[in-house]
Structure 1
Amino acid sequence: MNDAGRNRPSNSQVSTRERSPVVLPPRRPRWMSSAELEEALRFAQNRSSVSVDCDRSELVRLTKQFLRRETAFISHPAHNNPSAGKEIFSTPLDLQGSAKGSKSRVPKSVADMPIHFGRMCQTTLLTPDQERMLFQRMNYLLQQAEAHRRQLNPSRPSRVRLEVIDQLIAMAEWHRDRLVEANLRLVFSIVKKFVNPNHTFEELLSDGIVALIRAVEKFDFDRGFRFSTYATQVIRRNAYRTVVTQQQERQKTIGGFQDMDLDVTEETRESAISEKRWHELRSRLNRMLSLLDRRERFIIRTRFSLGPHRKVYTLQYLAQRLGVSKERVRQLERRAMDKLRTMVDDAALGDLDLAI
């Protein structure tokens, strides 16, 4: 098994129910005033959800809201040290300095794409030390937020503690965003390989970025290998799953059309139906199904996995659901299919252009 496969938090590493300082004061910790956190703190203050004008009822509501939202993080033994905050934020991260010292250029993976994609990938790559520091700081901030969250009490709401929790979570998100920005080009290089007529680059890119964020939140920075090793596996697996799942759904739909004697040629199957034509075809099919009686409509939808039904059911299962014999279900299915064929002829579905 490779390192990426082993990157699953063990019971001693997982997040939210682990060792934390037993008592935390309801005031802002001194290390939060570190110069290393100035930019992250400005980000947190701009999006704060705790107002200084909150009355007691609002504080109680916010306290209950925070208590329902457990904070997940990857723990580390050193984070339980009372002086951990001061030590973690004492070393300069120097993201701006490394950006000035490097040339801003568009990566080869997006060189032939629209300019706004290139701008998304111009963030300077992180050094191993910067990457480790960002992950450590993000998880430490989340662990401190969880420690404060556990001490909330709706009967004695504390605005100061709520502000501290809110700021800690926001600052952790600021560090997460830096990690995401620095690894966007990895997403571009991977999802480009999965683009096909049925899956646009923009769609796969959106899913890939979500997978990247998830990978950042679950990565254990203390395993000793680079984040890209783990993220590559997560993003590639996510893109593959997206493509395969949609292809399976499309094949099931095409199979249903063939069973209704609709002409779906190999040429049509290999090309992509435009979105507009696809919705029009589905709309017409739904109108035809609405003309069947309740049992016939149910049988057709379940036999061909249409609508909310994600599984093709057997005749025996439908017989049990409808309280009739298996042969009666087969007769009802045949009658419904005959009706649909007649509707197809009457509606002249041949005028529906299924080509691109």
Structure 2
Amino acid sequence: MTNLSPPKHHRCEPIRFVSHPLFSRPDAREQIENLRPESITAIPFCDEEESPNCRRSPIGQRCEERVLTRKEERYLFLRMNFEKFSANESQGERRAMYLAEARILRNRIVVSNFRLLVSIASQFALPPLRTEELISEGVIPLMRAVDLFDVSRGWAFGTYATHVLRNHFRRMGKRLSRKSRLEASFDDSQMVELPDEGVSEDRQQELTRQSQFLVQQCLAELPAVDQRILRTRFGFDDPASSKVRSYAEVGKVVGLSKERVRVRTHQALEHLRETAQSHHWEFPEVDLLQLHA
């Protein structure tokens, strides 16, 4: 059996939680349990280990999706954050136990709000994005909203989550709109060609070295998955390659769907441009997407 206790003198990383005056009371757990509605026992807790299908399905198809009442919502948020608070005050197996409880509670809240996520995602589902893609993109912001929501302020979580999700999808739509225009005007057949007229061979080599250096600097700003996607699609690590690999081919290499690779490619290219602009980096006589030549 794995020992969950941390090594001696090892200080665990603090766990972020939303505080509440109840937590400092010696009878905090009892007080919170007194807030448990009778209906809460009828709600199946969608734990990752107990219900793996809930983890695999983006919309929790195997889970009962029932909207929480305000009383249920208040109890679950207080209990979830109290478990995190308790974990912060504990070590070893007790800390792991409290964190596991907090995850179960968070999953229950997330699953109960999938219907809201689907509804908002469908409002923003315009080509090239499908509703399913937006739902997948919205899960992480929804989970983050659960972690940051302060139930003591008296708001309904649905109101807060709606604001978070709409802002996320708006920003995503703006980024994709810019990237779509970029790709529509991009000519793959010219991507690896450097201008020959008026440029000496030495100058071409110097431009290529400068450009490749700057591309590596920009790529370093991206998450590892996005770096791998761009390197695979455009051949940044293979100067002899002139082939742009398809999204499907890249997906097989990185283990993502064709659509997911396409979206992340758009996002990564835009981030490269923003990074270059923020650092005032210029790519003389060479377009950013030509830099793997």
The answer to whether TM tops 0.5 is: yes
Mapped contact 1:208–1:235 kept (Cα < 8 A): yes
Note the C-alpha offset of 1:299. Answer: 7.0
Any idea what the Cα deviations from partners look like across 1:197-250, whole Å, max 9, x if unmatched? 221222211111111111000000001121001000001111111121122233
Please state how far the C-alpha of 1:69 moved relative to its aligned partner.
Answer: 2.5
Aligned to 2:42: 97
Counterparts of 1:98 and 1:141 in 2: how far apart (Å)?
19
Distance 1:118 1:61 in 2: 37
Q: Tell me the CA shift for residue 252 of structure 1.
A: 3.2
Deviation readout 1:84-116 (Å, 9 max, x if unpaired): 1122124444334378xxxxxxxxxxxxxxx99
Query: Cα deviations across residues 132-169 of structure 1 (Å, max 9, x unaligned)?
Result: 00000001111111122xxxxxxxxxxxx410000001
Unaligned runs of 5+ in 2: 45-56, 220-229, 231-268
Q: Is the CA contact (8 Å cut-off) linking 1:121 and 1:184 kept in structure 2?
A: no
Pick 1 or 2: higher relative contact order, CA cutoff 8 A, min separation 6: 1
Establish whether residue 130 from structure 1 lines up as the match of residue 93 from structure 2. no
Deviation readout 1:150-195 (Å, 9 max, x if unpaired): xxxxxxxxxxx41000000110111111111111000000011111
Relative distance call for 1:318 and 1:172 in structure 2 (3 A) is closer
Change (3 A) 1:317 1:137: closer
Map 1:96-245 onto structure 2 (within 5 A).
Answer: 96-97=41-42, 119=61, 122-148=64-90, 161-245=91-175
The one-letter amino acid paired with 1:207 is E
3-state SS of paired residue (1:310): helix
The 1-side partners of 2:140 and 2:60 are apart by 19
- Say whether the 8 Å CA contact 1:121–1:185 is kept in structure 2: no
The equivalent residue for 1:73 is 17
Q: Which runs of 5+ in 1 are unaligned?
A: 1-50, 100-114, 149-160, 263-280, 320-328, 341-356
Residue 86 (str. 1) matches residue 49 (str. 2): no
Aligned partners of 1:246 and 1:98: how far apart in 2?
38
Query: Hey, what's the Cα distance between the residues in 2 that align with 1:116 and 1:220?
Result: 25
For residue 22 of structure 2, give the secondary structure of its aligned residue in structure 1: helix
> Per the alignment, do residues 84 and 317 of structure 1 end up closer, same or farther by CA in structure 2, a change over 3 Å counting?
closer
Task: State the TM-score, normalizing by the size of structure 2.
Answer: 0.61
Could you tell me whether the CA contact under 8 Å between 1:180 and 1:213 is conserved in 2? yes
Query: Would the alpha carbon gap of residues 285 and 147 (structure 1) be closer, same or farther in structure 2, given more than 3 Å must change?
Result: farther
| Alpha-carbon distance change, 213 to 62 in structure 1, aligned in 2, over 3 angstroms | farther
Letter in 2 for 1:84: A
Q: Secondary structure at the match of 1:238?
A: helix
The answer to whether the Cα contact below 8 Å between 1:74 and 1:220 also exists between their aligned partners in 2 is yes
Tell me, in whole angstroms, the C-alpha distance in 2 between the residues paired with 1:62 and 1:228.
43
Partner of 1:296: 207
Shift, 1:68, TM fit: 4.5
Distance across 2 between alignment mates of 1:238 and 1:116: 17
Q: Please give the root-mean-square deviation of Cα atoms over the aligned residues, in Å.
A: 3.8
| Cα distance change of structure 1 residues 169 and 60 upon mapping to structure 2, 3 Å threshold | closer
Q: Quick one: distance in 2 between partners of 1:138 and 1:86? A: 14
Q: Give the secondary structure class of the aligned counterpart of 2:167.
A: helix
Q: Is the 8 A contact 1:191 1:204 kept in 2?
A: yes
Larger radius of gyration: 1
Determine what percentage of the aligned residue pairs are the same residue: 27
- Alignment-derived partner of residue 38 in structure 1: none
Task: Report the CA distance shift for 1:219/1:294 in structure 2 as closer, same or farther (over 3 A).
Answer: farther
Q: Structure 1-normalised TM-score?
A: 0.51
- Indicate how the Cα distance of structure 1 residues 70 and 239 shifts in structure 2: closer, same or farther if over 3 A, else same: same
Contact 1:191/1:205, CA 8 A, preserved across alignment: yes
Secondary structure of residue in 2 paired with 1:199 = coil
**Displacement after TM superposition at 1:127 (Å):** 1.0
Amino acid across the alignment from 1:174? I
Q: Any conservation in 2 of the 1:120–1:184 contact (CA below 8 Å)? A: no
